[in-house]
Structures are given as C-alpha cells and as structure tokens.
Amino acid sequence: MILNNNKNEFEISINGVSVIKHSSENPFIFIGKGEANYDMYRGNFKITDYLEERIPLKNFEVTKNEKNHFEINLFDHHQLKLTLIGKQKEGKTKIYFSSEDKFDNRIWIRIVAEEDEKIYGCGEQLSYFNLRGKNFPLWTSEPGVGRNKNTYTTWQADVKDKAGGDYYNTNYPEPTYISTRKYYCHLESTAYLDFDFRNKKFHELQCWNIPEFILFETGKTFLDIQEKLTANFGRQPKLPEWVYDGLILGLQGGTEVVLDKLNKALDAGIKVSGVWCQDWQGKRITSFGKRLNWNWKWSPEEYPNLDVEIKKLKERGIKFLGYINPYVIEGYDLYEEAKANGYLATKLDGSDYTVDFGEFYCGVVDFTNPKACEWYKNVIKTNLIDFGLDGWMADFGEYLPTDCKLSNGLSAEVMHNAWPAMWAKINYEAVKEAGKLEEIVYFMRAGFTGTQKYCTLIWAGDQSVDFSLDDGLASVIPAALSVGMTGNGLSHSDIGGYTSLHGNKRNRELLLRWAEMAAFTPVMRTHEGNRPDDNYQHDGDIGAMKFFARITDIYTSLKPYMKTLVEENTKYGIPVQRPIFFHYENDLRSYDIKYQYLLGEDLLVAPVHQEYMEKWNVYLPEDNWVHLWTGEEYTGGDYEVSARLGYPPVFYKKNSKWKSLFQEIGAK
Amino acid sequence: MILNNNKNEFEISINGVSVIKHSSENPFIFIGKGEANYDMYRGNFKITDYLEERIPLKNFEVTKNEKNHFEINLFDHHQLKLTLIGKQKEGKTKIYFSSEDKFDNRIWIRIVAEEDEKIYGCGEQLSYFNLRGKNFPLWTSEPGVGRNKNTYTTWQADVKDKAGGDYYNTNYPEPTYISTRKYYCHLESTAYLDFDFRNKKFHELQCWNIPEFILFETGKTFLDIQEKLTANFGRQPKLPEWVYDGLILGLQGGTEVVLDKLNKALDAGIKVSGVWCQDWQGKRITSFGKRLNWNWKWSPEEYPNLDVEIKKLKERGIKFLGYINPYVIEGYDLYEEAKANGYLATKLDGSDYTVDFGEFYCGVVDFTNPKACEWYKNVIKTNLIDFGLDGWMADFGEYLPTDCKLSNGLSAEVMHNAWPAMWAKINYEAVKEAGKLEEIVYFMRAGFTGTQKYCTLIWAGDQSVDFSLDDGLASVIPAALSVGMTGNGLSHSDIGGYTSLHGNKRNRELLLRWAEMAAFTPVMRTHEGNRPDDNYQHDGDIGAMKFFARITDIYTSLKPYMKTLVEENTKYGIPVQRPIFFHYENDLRSYDIKYQYLLGEDLLVAPVHQEYMEKWNVYLPEDNWVHLWTGEEYTGGDYEVSARLGYPPVFYKKNSKWKSLFQEIGAK
C-alpha cells in the first residue's frame, strides 16, 4: 500500500494497482443526506430515495503517512466531514471511515477504473456475469418472477403481485467484487448499497450509511485472488460424502407417497442419495400453490411413522432432508413461545409485528437477540437434527421489514441485508454444536457478507419453469459463477425450476435439460415446484425415469473428481464451477462468457439452455479438448456440436489425469 | 413583496403569501451538477441523470432591501454561488437568478407549501388534475400509448416501440402552476424541469440550467389569478365565427371520397362547418397505418381539382382545413430547398440530420434561424393560406433531438422545450401577416411557455381509442382543465380518439360518447384515427349519422352562449372549460374533481367516460341546478342520474340568463 500525495492530490495504490485517485477537480468521495422509502410486498421491494445533498469532499490533509498506515482528513471547504485511516496487514489494505457529521447517511466512493476492465461477483447475479456497464443495487430480496420488463411473465407478475423483478434483483447480493485489474474490493456495510460500474473512468460505490471500511487485496492470478478473498471471508465446509451418491429427490405428500415414489425411482435405476421433503412439518394450500406450515417440527399427521421410517431409510443408505426458515407462523406453538419470551421483532411501538408471506402471517425471529438465537438453534438441534434430518433447505432471510424494532437497537434498514448471514450462522452453529459439520447439508438462497463461512451450500433460488435467460435454466449459470467469485464455491439449483405462475408450466424437455446440467454441478436435487400438478416430474413417464437413471449414474461416476474439487474449495476457496478465464487468463473472449463454465480445471461444460436444440454452439479456449460423448478432439475456437437430450456439450482436457474416468463416463 | 430577514434566515412573502423561507437548517436552494442522457425514439424519451453534486446554499447576505427590490447573495460556505435579484412591478414579483459558477447546471428551488394545499396547471396533464402528491417531469414529448404501466396496451407499446408513456408524459408541459394558496408561479427556463409536489412542507422545482427568473403573482380569487396569469403570458385570439356552425369533419382519401362523405353527412342532417383533410398533401402507408407525406403543399394527385372545389365548398359555407408540421420529408422539394439554404438543424459536425418518424425521415426546420422562420412562414402563407385553407392541424413540435446543432448556437437540450411555442409563433405570425387572425384556426398538441399567446386552439393529442382513464376519453377532461389553468382556455380533442394499436379498435359507443362530450367543448372535430378501417366512424350506420345530426344540432344551438365564453377567454383568459372550484371556491370537494367541469359559469358537464352506462354518478356544488334533458331540479350533493347515449349528464343553473336557450336545447 502506497499513499502518494502532494498539496493538491493523492493516490492510493496497492502492489502497483492504483485504486484511489483524488484531486479537488476529481474528488473520490461524495457525502450527503437522503431520505429513503422502502415499500415491501412479499419480499419484493420498491426502494426510492429523496436525495437532499451530495457534496464532493474536495479538500484534504494527510495527517499521517507511515509504512502500512495513513490518516487523511476530508473536508467540505474547511469543514471536516470524514476521516480515513488506512491500514495494511497480512496483504490486506483496509481504509476505515469515520464521519464527523451525524446527519450524513449517504456516501459515494469512486474507485479507479479502466475502460476495458471487467467486474465480477457482487453476490449471486442471475442476469449478468461481467457487471461492467450496469449498476447493481445490493439489497437482499425476492429476485423476481421473469426479471425482464420485456417479458409477459414479468409484466403479469408486476401488475398482479409487484413481483416481476429486474436484472439486479437477487436473494444474495454482496458488496464484494473482483476486478480484471487483479484485485478484489469489499465494502463493509449492511445498509442499502448500489455499485455502479457504468462509468469508464471510475466505479462508484454508493452506500446508505457510513461504512466501517473498504478492503482491497491484490493477487497475481484469479486463483490467487480467489484464495485471498475466501481466506478473508471464510470458506465452506466440505459436502457430506453421501451427497455424491445420487440425486436428492424432492418429494412431497406424506410418508406413504414419498416411500412409494422413492421405491419406484430406485426400481427404475435412479441413484438416490436422499429424499427432501419440504412439507415434513405439514402444509397449507394458498392461491400460489401448496405452501408449508411454518411451525418447525415433524408433523405426524402429514408424515405418520416418519420417526421410524427415517431410521429405516438411513439403513438403506437414503438420507431424509427437511425444511426450515427464520419465520414462525402465527397461532402455533413456536410463535407463541417466541412471542412470550420476546424473541420476535416488533413494531416500533413494541406491539406484535407479523409479516405477510402470501395469505398467511409470521413472526420474525429476532437474530439480534442472542437468546432468540440460542432458542432457534435449539429448535434446529432438537426438532431437526435430533429427529434425524440429514439436511434441509434453510429458506428465506430476505424479508426483514425495514420498519421493525430489533433487540440490538439498530435500525432494521441497516440490519436487513445482514439477516441472511445471521440466519446462516444459526444453522452453522446448530450443526457444528451437534458435531455434524460435513455430515449434514443445508442449502440457502439468501446471502450477504459472511454467508461464505456459514452456509454449507448455495441454492440459486426460485427460477421460473422455463428457458428464459433472466429467470430460467440459463440464469443459474451466471448465478453459480458470480456467487462462486464472491466466495461460495458450492452451489446448485432446483432441477426443473420452481415457479409456475401466469401460465408457465414446466415441460419434459426443461426438466431433462436441467437435470443433465445438474449432473455437472456439485449437487443434484429436484423440486416439484410450487404447483406440482402443473409441472413435469421425474416420474412423468418411463423414458424420463430412464433418463434420470442414466444421468444420476453419470453424476455419481464423477464422485472422485467432484470430491477433489470440493476439497479444493474448502482448502483454497476455488469454486467447483469456475469461469473459463480462471484457467485461461490470456483468453480475452472468455471474460464475457456467462453460459459456459469449467467444472474444475479438466471439464468444460456448455449447458443447452434453449428449447428444441439438436446442436449447440460452444466456445473453447485454446487447449486440447475431447468431446465427452463422441471422443472427437478439438482445439480452441467456435464449434457447433451435437447436443441431443442427455448429451450436453461437455469437454475434457486431453491430457487430464482423469482421462480414463471421463472416457468411462462418456461411454454411458 | 416583502423580504424579512435577520442574520440567520429570511422570508419572502407577497401580499401576505409566504413563498420562500430560508435558514441554514432549511435552505431553499440547492445547486449542483449533473450529466444527462436523453434517449429519443420517435418522440418518446428515456431521460436519465447522473447527479454528481447537490449542494445546499446555506449562507446568505442581503445586499439590498428596498421597496420592490432586493438582492441576496447565496453561498456554499464562503463561496458565492448564486445571486438573486428580486423586483416587483405591476403586481408581479420576479426573482432573477445569476450563477457565479459556470459548471453548475442543476438547481432545486423550494417553495413554501402547506399540507392541504393543491396545485394545478403545469401545462396539459392527462392523468392528474390536482398535481399534489406526485412529481412532474416537464419535457415535451409523445404522451405515450396507454400511459399506465399496469395496462396491457402500455406494456405492449413499451416493449414494441418504447412508447407506453407514464402519467406525466405530455405534448404540452409548462413550468407554471396555480396554488390553492392563491398565487401562480412560473419558472422561466426551457431546459428539462421536474416539479415535485410530493413533500408536505415544500414544493421542489428542479431545473437543468440556471433559470432566468421565477415569477409569483397572487390573486384574490382563481378568476383573478387566471386573469393575471394570462395577462402575463398573452391570450388566445377568438375562434372564427364559422367554427360554431357545426362539426369539423375529419376525412381522408381524396377529393371525390371527401365530397361524397361530406354530402352524405349533410344529407343525414349533420351540421358541418368544415372538412379537415390531413392528407391534402398526399400520404404514405407505414406499418403504423396511413401516414402523411410531409411536403407541405396541395397534392393534385391525391386531391384532384381541390383548387376549384375548395372555393365551391366555401360558397356552400363549408371550410377546408389541412395539415402541416415543422418537419420536411427527405427527398422532396421543401427539404431540398431548406437544406440548400441552411434552414435545417444539423448534426454537431454540421452534416445532415434527419429524424426517424416511423419508417420515414425528415429534416427539422431550424426555428432559431430567423431566415428559416421567414421561409417557413412563407410556406404557410403561400401553400396553405393562399391556397385557401381555413385552418390546419399544426402538428408535432416535440421531436427536437438533443444532439443537433442549431443556428443560434444554444444547446438543443435547452431549446427542445422551447420548440412548440416557436412553432406556434410561426403559425401565428403567418396568419397575422396574412390578415387572417380570427378567420383561420390552427390547432396544436405540443406546447410550452409562450403557447398561450400564439396558438389559436389546443388539441389534446393522440388518445387511444378506448375508455381508459389515462389515455382514453376520460383523459381529455383533466387535459382541458390543466391546460386551461396554464392559460389556454380553448381546447378540444379528436372525437373518438386516434391511436389504434395492439388490438385497440374504436367501437361505436366510444365514438358517440366522445361526440356527445365534444358538443360541450368549444370545438367539435372528428378524426378517422391512424387506422381508419379498424375504427368506427361517424357514418358507420344510419343511427350513428342521426346521432351526429342531433349532437351537432345541440352544439350549434349553444353558439350564442359559447361565443360569450370564448370572448371571456380572449378578454380575461378565463377558460371555456373550467374546474368547478373556479365558481365555487368554498366547495372543498370540488378541488379534487377531475372528470367534471363547468362550461362557463352556467353549465356543469359530467361526461360519461365508461362503457355500458345507463346511469352516471355526478357531484353538484351547492346551487340550484336543472338537469338539461329532464328538467329535474337538484341542489348540491351526489346523485345518480340517467345517462343514456346522447344524453350526457349536463346541468344548468336555475337562475341562468341563458335558461330559455338551455331549455330549448334540452328538448332536442
């Protein structure tokens, strides 16, 4: 870290990478005041800001400039507004902010940019992978249905439910990015943020409070940066061994139905590692579809005899997974217990606050209250782990209303984004305290800074059951890549998608295309969707069953390879699904490829994400590649390859040490 | 005008109305810098601003404070940023602005507001009449198709043509409003503006350059304010006498077709004052529908023998009206002549600039060039007036691209809003110089400050052919009221609407409901629409013809009454169609009524603007009213009255001196 300055300007550079340049003509910080309005409807937010002031801090004085340490005062004219303290430690440069004006609640920080620079990360981004050219509001929320204002689905969702979403809406935003200028940057704040990568000369990071610090760390390669980034945020534990042994089959409907469907799947040759029953605690019917009853414990009515059957299943090598989220439904015992103990967020006047989740209302467990956390951890330990669950969907985390009162006294506007990682931490600690890390897997869609360390597996959220780029099959590819570059190298998605609304129904082709892609991701798991009867399912016909049998055979055959990748992720934070440029940094074209990925260093996967395709266009970086299914050899370039159902375009490196495994799989 | 100040604050009030309050805690002016992006597609603009600075000017010094004159310097800390010079003359208070920083291009001015205050005007507003609670970007543009993001029509228009529009889009915006605190306010600038009436304590007027001045004038009553406002901006001339003698029948298709349709209409008993043939200069077919050939002179091919027939028509008491707009089509003689003489706006590098009007391209006559104005006035005088036209649609004015080069050297960003009034002035001067004021009528949809004086008749633009509130029949009512309160008391609309797109087709009921409303406006004129074959027309069936015969009989019977109203408008600026509160200031409910109006002081009109109605709910202010068709008497209150087709809810004052006329009409 070097601070160079004269009377009129200063520059901060880190290992030769200039990150901040300031002069009175081009100040790097603006500070101001705004009045936000947050309008939440079922997890969809309309956020507007009345901006009252935005003032450039032109004048400065460097009050200290030592090795690995500096202090700068920034002024509006002669009025001290902000003090920056820069510290370098273990290769990380942190610049701490302290504000001198208690009314300032907006800040804009400009980071040096170059015209051809590209940007990745910012959590899970579903529409863009390279983020340059757009701005990205960072606020955990429902990602939207359709996510593209030009689609009829989005328009319908907007008009009927305010739920259409846009390119930037995501369950998992994070103020952390990686630049092709070979550094990562993180802004430490949980307030509303907007990272704007539209300007040629600077990135502008907007934050709705004064952040604690901004962090920079450079690296020689992307692998190096990735390792450093994950060293900073923490890394995911390994996946349990059993995960690789087959599909996690998403089923519903009670013990009898589930066992029957499981047996039929096994009979058809489908490799199943576990059944995932989100309705294990009972369900309710709403106009959206079948919904769950949010009182987190086994429902003997819905799942008679499950306490016995769960053990029998384990003996057969089949795990049982359930479901939980951080809300408790009004009128049931968990809600009553939490309310009696003051474990729920309240209205500002202290009265009860329940949140509308779509025709039912729930209390929000107040994770800023350590006692509430302990209580909820115990719910997980007792009702989930002790009951025998081997995993669960740890759903939601995005719905903290901004107008509730929290135990720690902080504004819910500032805690809203913090919630998903707090929710992850509760799951993590419950599992860890039960001694079950790397045995149990829970998967989450919501995230924020801190999720990396506490979430065992990301799931890409609720896609529409279609082939749309912004909300369908394709969208989970940039999602995995961006969330991976944010430090979450283990992710997966609902095979077949989830959301059937406004006439959208999952067809057979979508389900099978999604399944064949999922075989080349860390985890395979199906979801029946919000309206199971409207959606094609794995057992829709005997051909589909056979398809799943073969595809799960391929997935399980990858186990030795996949395990090494997952270990790499746990050890170095290198994601299992990687952008091509992670291993081909000189291939300039690869930096804009968002619908292909490397599965480890040795496999390149180009999922078919459109309908009716017999062939598919792929781009290969310069190397010697072998097409998995035909054995045909390729070097770098553009190719049209065969891509019939069940044979997605996958290539392995000719000199891979896993060659014989891949050849064996290719023959399946 | 009084300026009261001490060291820490000042207040400006006018005849007891406080308009500006300033203190360092609550400064009334913010100044800053922004970088705008204007994206125009066929008259629809997407305008975004990257706001770099917004600085409160907290410090001030009063350097002069005399009777009718003051000077105030405003500072950012100790840096002088703005000087205000206040002058009072003839009851008007003008505060002039001069900026001390050449880079400042954004200003926000806060005007004192009260919580229950209401605001009207801002040009022609089609979705809202009372503007409180919303912000209104003021930028002349296409108003949009649908104008409501929740309608399918709007969504289709947005997706296909970027043309859906929103509540604030209008052909005629103006930075002039009237407050219920009994003053009017005008900001003198033609840059992009946004008047924000959302805040309880202040109105915030945003302007994208430093305006010349802000003007306030108070009045005892709304009639008084209206008279003062129109004294300031100028008033419309009287309508020609012939206008009141019947319908202006919008026809197309050539001499033979037009004469045939005219004769049939007359035979059916329809009173016709003129035929309006927008295709008199020839036409072209595009995917939008039939469009006109923009080379402004009689087309003998399209209208053979018109030079003779136009005289014969005059002898029969039928006027002939045509069409013109401020653009000239590429490849024809007017374009070539204008180009050769340097009369067209160019690209910034001086090369040719043609604008896309939807499958054809035109040059923009540069009205900042006095020679170009003279030339275009001569086109009007020679090709239109000398040819014998008695009126025309003076269309468009909203399409000045922001990236063209103009003769006066000013930025097209600043001239864009000025264009409609410049276009009006050219028409006005051509007609005046020909000695034909109050004989010829031209009607315009685009407007801005200055239109009042130079435009003989407003037309409400291109409504959709439906009953939608934001873009259908209903929308022309608030349009007439708001444009009236901006000083244009003569307005009318296309009977039946204009735009058939995305499946919208004009049905019989819409046409007839629109016609029966139009009978109670200053001018009746039909339009075949953009796709005449898809739209129901006045001659669609014999019943419709009879309907038009009766309705035009009613309209022409109103002539003596209507003439006095038009004279009042010319003399005092009191609009022909008036909000109810103009004559019932104590009736608080009337301030939020936007779909009823007074036609003069003696008639109250409540047009039926929904389909399938046999009855209609009306609100009457406290008075003695007589229902026009039944003679039933009412006092103030809410009533459901009969409203079958042809009998729109109209009431006259029982003690009106026009009572016998109204009784006669009511019997028709």
Domain ranges of chain A: 2-232, 241-323+370-398+410-574, 580-666
Is residue A75 within 8 angstroms of chain B, CB to CB? no
Is residue A155 within 8 angstroms of chain B, CB to CB? yes
| A28-58 pLDDT per residue, tens | 999 999 999 999 999 999 999 999 999 999 9
Residues B546 and B526: their CA atoms lie apart, in Å, by 15
User: Cβ-count burial of B405 within 10 angstroms (0-12 exposed, 13-18 middle, 19+ buried)?
Assistant: middle
> Measured between CA atoms, how close is A371 to chain B, in angstroms?
42
Edge-to-edge order in the sheet of strand A577-578: A577-578, A597-599, A603-605, A650-653, A625-627, A633-634
Residues B607 and B241: their CA atoms lie apart, in Å, by 26
Identical fold for domains B2-232 and B580-666, yes or no, is: yes
- When scoring A57, A107, A149, A155 by the number of chain B Cβ atoms within 10 A, the one with the most, hence best to mutate, is A155
Is residue A166 within 8 angstroms of chain B, CB to CB? no
Give the per-residue pLDDT at A224: 98
Is residue B455 within 8 angstroms of chain A, CB to CB? no
Beta carbons within 8 Å of A444's beta carbon, 6+ residues apart: A393, A394, A395, A397, A420, A423, A424, A427, A451, A455, A457, A458, A459
The per-residue DSSP string of B133-173 comes to TSEEEE------SS--TTSHHHHHHHHHHS----TT--S-E
Q: Which residues of A touch B77 (CB under 8 A)?
A: 76-79
CATH entry 2.60.34.10 includes domain B2-232: no
> Which of B51, B78, B152 minimises the CB distance to A54?
B51
CATH H superfamily, domain A241-323+370-398+410-574: Glycosidases (3.20.20.80)
Among A302, A395, A413, A528, the active-site one is A395
Q: Which residues of B touch A30 (CB under 8 A)?
A: 52-53
Residue B56 to residue A56, Cβ atoms within 8 A: no
Rg, Å, chain B Cα set: 25
- When scoring A31, A37, A55, A108 by the number of chain B Cβ atoms within 10 A, the one with the most, hence best to mutate, is A55
Encoded amino acid at B509, one letter: E
Helix (H, G, I), strand (E, B) or coil at B621: coil
| A540-596 pLDDT per residue, tens | 999 999 999 999 999 999 999 999 999 999 999 999 999 999 999 999 999 999 999
What residue in B sits closest to A52 (Cα-Cα)?
B54
Whether the CB-CB separation of B601 and B593 falls below 8 Å is answered with no
Mean pLDDT, chain B cut into blocks of 10 residues (668 residues total):
94 97 97 97 95 97 95 96 96 95 95 98 98 98 96 95 96 98 98 98 98 98 98 97 98 97 98 97 77 90 96 98 96 95 97 90 97 98 98 97 97 98 98 98 98 98 97 98 98 97 94 98 97 96 98 98 98 98 98 98 98 97 98 98 98 98 97
| Cβ pairs A/B, distance under 8 A | 38
Residue A52 to residue B56, Cβ atoms within 8 A: yes
Is residue B388 within 8 angstroms of chain A, CB to CB? no
> Which tokens go with B433?
């110089």
Q: Which residues of B touch A56 (CB under 8 A)?
A: 52-53
Average pLDDT over every residue of A14-27: 97
Structure confidence at residue A643 as a pLDDT band (50, 70, 90) = very high
* Phi, then psi, of B254 in degrees rounded to 5: 105, 165
> Measured between CA atoms, how close is B204 to chain A, in angstroms?
11
Is residue B158 within 8 angstroms of chain A, CB to CB? yes
Residue A76 to residue B79, Cβ atoms within 8 A: no
> Measured between CA atoms, how close is B53 to chain A, in angstroms?
5
Q: Which residues of B touch A54 (CB under 8 A)?
A: 32, 51-55
Residue A51 to residue B52, Cβ atoms within 8 A: no
Structure confidence at residue A314 as a pLDDT band (50, 70, 90) = very high
| A206-222 pLDDT per residue, tens | 999 999 999 999 999 99
CA distances to A183, A251, A501, A610, B667 from A506, in Å: 41, 16, 10, 13, 64
Q: Which element (helix H / strand E) includes A380?
A: none
Is residue B655 within 8 angstroms of chain A, CB to CB? no
Whether the CB-CB separation of A287 and A242 falls below 8 Å is answered with no
Encoded amino acid at A535, one letter: N
Q: Which residues of B touch A78 (CB under 8 A)?
A: 77
Quick one: which of A268, A278, A280, A275 has its CA closest to A316? A275
Encoded amino acid at A564, one letter: T
> Which of A53, A77, A155 minimises the CB distance to B155?
A155
What does DSSP assign to residue B532? G
Quick one: which of B11, B223, B221, B225 has its CA closest to B111? B11
Beta carbons within 8 Å of B136's beta carbon, 6+ residues apart: B122, B125, B168, B173, B194, B195, B196, B197
Q: Which residues of A touch B152 (CB under 8 A)?
A: 155
> Which tokens go with B199?
């805040």
> Which tokens go with A71?
């202090």
Is residue B51 within 8 angstroms of chain A, CB to CB? yes
Give the per-residue pLDDT at A425: 98
Encoded amino acid at B583, one letter: H
Tell how far CA B537 is from the center of its chain. Answer: 25
Q: Which residues of B touch A152 (CB under 8 A)?
A: 155
> Which of B56, B79, B158 minimises the CB distance to A53?
B56
Q: Which residues of A touch B76 (CB under 8 A)?
A: 77
Q: Which residues of A touch B53 (CB under 8 A)?
A: 30, 54-56
* Residue carrying the six token digits 């309006």: B276
Give, to the nearest 10 degrees, the angle between helix A659-666 and helix A542-557. Answer: 170
Q: Identify the CATH number of the domain defined by range B580-666.
A: 2.60.40.1180
Give the per-residue pLDDT at A507: 97
Is residue A52 within 8 angstroms of chain B, CB to CB? yes
Is residue A33 within 8 angstroms of chain B, CB to CB? no
Residue A53 to residue B54, Cβ atoms within 8 A: yes
Beta carbons within 8 Å of B543's beta carbon, 6+ residues apart: none
| B616-645 pLDDT per residue, tens | 999 999 999 999 999 999 999 999 999 999
Give the per-residue pLDDT at A502: 86
Catalytic-residue membership of A471: no
Is residue A32 within 8 angstroms of chain B, CB to CB? yes
Whether the CB-CB separation of B174 and B80 falls below 8 Å is answered with no
The per-residue DSSP string of A499-559 comes to B--TT----HHHHHHHHHHHTTSS--BB---SSGGGS--TTSSHHHHHHHHHHHHHHHHTH
Is residue B30 within 8 angstroms of chain A, CB to CB? yes
Is residue B77 within 8 angstroms of chain A, CB to CB? yes
Residues B45 and B165: their CA atoms lie apart, in Å, by 9
Residues of B with a known catalytic role: 395, 398, 462
Give the per-residue pLDDT at A286: 73
| A116-162 pLDDT per residue, tens | 999 999 999 999 999 999 999 999 999 999 999 999 999 999 999 99
Tell how far CA B350 is from the center of its chain. Answer: 33
Residue B55 to residue A53, Cβ atoms within 8 A: yes
Give the per-residue pLDDT at B55: 97
